[in-house]
Structure 1
């Protein structure tokens, strides 16, 4: 179903009970899934009277539209996707109501979506990004920003074009993981937080290699466009992060992205305040035993954020002494 058709089918906003919330995120194994499912679990455990229904299907672009229409209570927001939704460009070009829907959205915080882990088997003969020529490469799910970003990274760094110089695969995260393990995909890309359980799982049976970028490749216009855009950054996966499971003996330079948790502006301030407070208090208690969760911090909660914060989130952050940038305060 196209985005335009999906929007037409949304209908009127769904009613929700105070204790029950609908949340949408990306598929299991992705960083948004790990962060948002952990968000739901921590809040449920600490509050006791809150239940989340987590739907881990679809793309972030679709989720933003559904949240803007009141069909979702919480969703993964990405700065670049929000910019396009506000302007009605890119994947929203045929959705005339997208800019107005974007005005209904509010954010809770932002976190590193992940560092692009570009993975191949250690014995594949693929040692650099240039070697993906003629190979089968998983870019990301169809219609999602991950696939667009990965395609741009490869073309920017190497000049290789998807479906011309290599075979581009755009399928769901779970299907791609299985296809890589079965040998039907030569290169698997996933923006995930290190140390990523996904990468650890992939490398259980045999060692893998991470394909990074040289200084020259990082300086190309195409790659710079990815690191300089809203939510983009240069990222480093330190050598030794995955032990002997990854054969790289040096740090791997790659592209990173930021994402966040968004909600609908109509949710009451008190409810969002309780939820945000419960989450961050839960994070402080569990970070020591959950290495990847250490990437999610209060210090970085507003990094590159371009969606106004929900008043309930602002209330909590001001309560603990954080300075709220004027740019992320909601319009009066």
Structure 2
């Protein structure tokens, strides 16, 4: 009886150990590799594109999980990714130029040129156009009318803020916080503040129609300010803006936001290219699978999210001035985008 009992105990222990090993193996197989993605706030086109990228990866590649952080400025996000503190960020040609040459907001950051060499692009896309929104009954009909007004030009330290301040200066000669007051808010807070009537002018570079601005236009009449047609040629400040990598003059159509958009003509403004970038040390196979999955799944989402039609494979390398990640380059060679 003792011997029989001993065998039973041994058999039970063997089963328990086997079960534990299987559980550990199963848990290991099911474990996901988590990545951190930083982007701009909700309502911006980078937020929508990058969350779509993350959701597509999370849904179709069970071995990976991308967690999105939608706070802060892209200038800081680029530093975080270059240092390995995050994995993906919204890049832009102008931002990379400033970082790699230690200019503007990066001027006093030691070692930033070397850090920029650790960044790699996955793809570029149209961020959209610079919207400059006012309420139709505000009395503001052109950029000349913003003198003395409260203006959101972008979050503190952001590339958007730098661009908008330069654009206003080029068109009007007005200086920030001398001729008009810049309101220091993040993207979310600024959109809400404009809706609440606490801002006079709200700038947002985003695809048109923007869901955030469309929501405002549902109940209130709005006007978009732009670059006067006479300034498109011969204005040195405007010309300097369009010489920045990724920038061009484009138009916001007068009927983009329906009957509550009071513009009688199309508005000339800036269009800009941005992208999704990462650190060069993320494995090639990982980025290859993510890139391939995103582009193979994106077209199926065009009907449910029409704004996504602005994101297309044939423009993935537009305005590229940063090296591609090897995983992304591998995919683009496969599909013939790179020979």
In the superposition, the TM-score normalised over structure 1's length comes to: 0.90
Once the 2 structures are TM-superposed, how far is the Cα of residue 104 of structure 1 from its aligned partner?
0.6
Residue 137 of structure 1 aligns to a residue whose secondary structure is: strand
Q: Flag the 1:131–1:95 CA change in 2: closer, same or farther, 3 A.
A: same
Alpha-carbon contact 2:217-2:257 (below 8 Å) kept: no
Distance in 1 (alpha carbons) for counterparts of 2:164 and 2:141: 17
Residue in structure 1 matched with residue 121 of structure 2 by the alignment: 107
Alpha-carbon contact 1:117-1:192 (below 8 Å) kept: yes
Distance in 2 (alpha carbons) for counterparts of 1:73 and 1:173: 22
Distance in 2 (alpha carbons) for counterparts of 1:236 and 1:52: 35
Residue 23 of structure 1 aligns to a residue whose secondary structure is: strand
Q: Does 1:293 align with 2:270?
A: no
Residue in structure 2 matched with residue 81 of structure 1 by the alignment: 95
Once the 2 structures are TM-superposed, how far is the Cα of residue 18 of structure 1 from its aligned partner?
6.2
Residue in structure 2 matched with residue 11 of structure 1 by the alignment: none
Larger Rg: 2
Residue in structure 2 matched with residue 243 of structure 1 by the alignment: 258
Residue in structure 2 matched with residue 9 of structure 1 by the alignment: none
Residue in structure 2 matched with residue 314 of structure 1 by the alignment: 329
Structure 2, unaligned runs of 5 or more: 1-30
Distance in 1 (alpha carbons) for counterparts of 2:241 and 2:313: 25
Distance in 1 (alpha carbons) for counterparts of 2:228 and 2:303: 33
Post-superposition Cα deviations, 1:148-174, rounded to whole Å, max 9, x if no partner, equal 111111110111111111111121111
Distance in 1 (alpha carbons) for counterparts of 2:217 and 2:127: 21
Once the 2 structures are TM-superposed, how far is the Cα of residue 218 of structure 1 from its aligned partner?
2.7
Q: Map 1:166-315; keep pairs closer than 5 Å.
A: 166-219=180-233, 220-315=235-330
> Which is richer in helix?
2
Alpha-carbon contact 1:158-1:217 (below 8 Å) kept: no
Residue 154 of structure 1 aligns to a residue whose secondary structure is: helix
Once the 2 structures are TM-superposed, how far is the Cα of residue 237 of structure 1 from its aligned partner?
1.3
Give the alignment partner of residue 140 of structure 1, picking from 127, 131, 154: 154
Alpha-carbon contact 2:32-2:62 (below 8 Å) kept: no
Residue 241 of structure 2 aligns to a residue whose secondary structure is: helix
Residue 288 of structure 1 aligns to a residue whose secondary structure is: coil
Post-superposition Cα deviations, 1:182-225, rounded to whole Å, max 9, x if no partner, equal 21111101001011101102222211111122222233111221
Aligned residue pairs: how many?
Answer: 308
- Bigger drift between 248-257 and 110-119 goes to 248-257
In the superposition, the TM-score normalised over structure 2's length comes to: 0.88
Residue 130 of structure 2 aligns to a residue whose secondary structure is: strand
Post-superposition Cα deviations, 1:205-261, rounded to whole Å, max 9, x if no partner, equal 211111122222233111221122111111211222111131113211101111100
Alpha-carbon contact 1:133-1:165 (below 8 Å) kept: yes
- Bigger drift between 312-321 and 39-48 goes to 39-48
